[in-house]
Chains A and B, each alone.
Chain A
């Protein structure tokens, strides 16, 4: 009976952990996505300081999140996002139009990172 209790407890903890991680990843990726959009908007409006500040904030948010991110997702995806966010930072500093492409790339990668965690039927199958 103790085996059964241990098994049910473990399964419950793991299920809770898995769904909690989905919730956290969804929430944090949405925030990251929002910050990428904010950076892009600040660049479009010619607000250099705002753009640089948003890019720095984006970098900080990603650095905080990546510790959890690599626990639940493939390291390769995290590396891609890390490099895209680093590019956004430097393009924001230089006020380079390449920032648009970097933002789009980061958005797509963040979305993929989020999708990888969300258990949809087609993904399970």
Chain B
């Protein structure tokens, strides 16, 4: 039993490292090649854990090989459009200028039920509102509504406004994040001054956020915490 336990721990570390190596994209939306790798990894990892007569290296080598190949293939896809098309295909338009392209839907084996379901997922209940629909390479469908049905933006109502960056955390749990301060174009001196104004030291702050304009929010630590 101890062997199984140790093997499981080692495989956990290796799989976590492998997924990290594959990148964050892996955890979100899977492309076909990534889906294959993920399914294979889970199956391969189970073998040496279940059967202790199988050497663990028989699990580790294929897992790392698949992940390394996936990273290499991803890099090649970045460089070559042709290779990318070959590996993951290309997005397909299924509604253009309000017209359903039935030939394309048949080619994608995409039923009208799939289309209406995808619409409902995006709170669209009337197909006549859709101007344009595209099936992405990961199978997701994105819709562009006709102008009349698009929600009004600030520009439409003449409200203007700027696109400010969201505030970033500069102190978390009493620890200063110098990198965030640098990203915001603010220095340690500015931070010290802000804290002095609020009569607080870095260690007293539970959370402090700031934006590029220097607007801050400070939440002090509660007593005894």
Within 8 A of A (CB), among B59-111: 61, 64-65, 67-69, 71-72, 75
Closest A residue, CB atoms, query B76: A4
Q: Give a binary string over B50-66; 1 marks a CB under 8 Å from any A CB, 0 the rest.
A: 00111101000100110
Asked if B21 lies at the interface with its beta carbon under 8 angstroms from chain A, I say yes
Q: Which residues of B contact A4 (CB under 8 A)?
A: 71-72, 75
Q: Which residues of A contact B72 (CB under 8 A)?
A: 4, 7-8, 11
Given that A70-B55, A74-B53, A75-B55 are known contacts, is A18 also in contact with B61, CB under 8 Å in the complex?
A: yes
Asked if A6 lies at the interface with its beta carbon under 8 angstroms from chain B, I say yes
Asked if A71 lies at the interface with its beta carbon under 8 angstroms from chain B, I say yes
Closest B residue, CB atoms, query A73: B55
Q: Which residues of A contact B52 (CB under 8 A)?
A: 75
Main secondary structure of the interface of A (DSSP, over half): helix
A53 vs B192: C-alpha distance when bound (angstroms): 82
Q: Which residues of B contact A8 (CB under 8 A)?
A: 68, 72
Other-chain contact of A3, B54, B61, B64, B71 (Cβ < 8 Å): B71
| Size bracket, chain A contacts | 10 to 19
Q: Which residues of A contact B65 (CB under 8 A)?
A: 11, 14
Interface residues in B, total, Cβ within 8 A: 16
Asked if B139 lies at the interface with its beta carbon under 8 angstroms from chain A, I say no
Asked if A10 lies at the interface with its beta carbon under 8 angstroms from chain B, I say yes
Q: Give a binary string over A1-35; 1 marks a CB under 8 Å from any B CB, 0 the rest.
A: 00110111011001001100000000000000000
Point out which of B54, B57, B68 has the most chain A C-beta atoms below 10 A from its C-beta: B68
B residues adjacent to A (C-beta < 8 A): 21, 23, 52-55, 57, 61, 64-65, 67-69, 71-72, 75
A-B contact pairs, 17 of them (CB 8 A): A3-B23, A3-B71, A3-B75, A4-B75, A6-B21, A7-B72, A8-B72, A10-B68, A11-B64, A11-B69, A14-B64, A18-B61, A70-B55, A71-B57, A74-B53, A74-B55, A75-B53
- Kindly list 5 other residue pairs between chains A and B, CB separation below 8 angstroms, not including A11-B64, A11-B72, A14-B65: A4-B72, A6-B71, A8-B72, A10-B68, A75-B52
